[in-house]
Amino acid sequence: MQNGFLVQKLSSRVKNLKQKDKNLFAYISNGIVFTFIGPSLFWLLYPLGPFLSVLATDSILHTLRFCSFKKIVFRDKSRYNVTFRGYLFSILPEIIIRLFLVDLLYNYLERGILTIVMAIISISLGYIISQTVFKARF
């Protein structure tokens, strides 16, 4: 009887470990994809002007990212329930800082350098704020 219980408990832990690996892979993959999409969109939309390119990029990017978080990364609601309000709260500081900095820097930096600077800011702030707001458990 004791052996059956141990086997069942071990089997349950192996399943949980596999699910954690899938969640972590989805989280990392999502981050990598959006790390490339964001700066690319900003660079492509730059002819609209730096300020509008930030607004357009962030609108498109964060709509896609929210949907991917909800449908792919955090499907298991017991770990984290992605809400629009929580996601919006997590990205607003980043958007405000990016708008302020692009307005400050666009006269001094060329398009490519400004894109790299904005990407570094987005990645850094996005990671810090996401870790604080989402507190994802894998």
- Cβ-contact 79, 137 below 8 angstroms: yes
Tokens of 40: 């690319």
pTM attached to this predicted model: 0.72
Sign of dihedral through CA atoms 99, 104, 105, 108? positive
Which residues have a Cβ under 8 Å from the Cβ of 137 and sit 6 or more positions away?
A: 79, 80
What is the DSSP-derived secondary structure letter of residue 122?
H
- Cβ-contact 134, 80 below 8 angstroms: yes
Each residue's pLDDT tens digit, 71-80: 877 776 655 6
Each residue's pLDDT tens digit, 76-125: 665 566 778 878 887 888 889 999 999 999 899 999 999 999 999 888 88
What are the structural domain ranges in the chain? 2-134
Q: Check residue 101 and give its pLDDT.
A: 92
Q: Which amino acid is at 113?
A: I
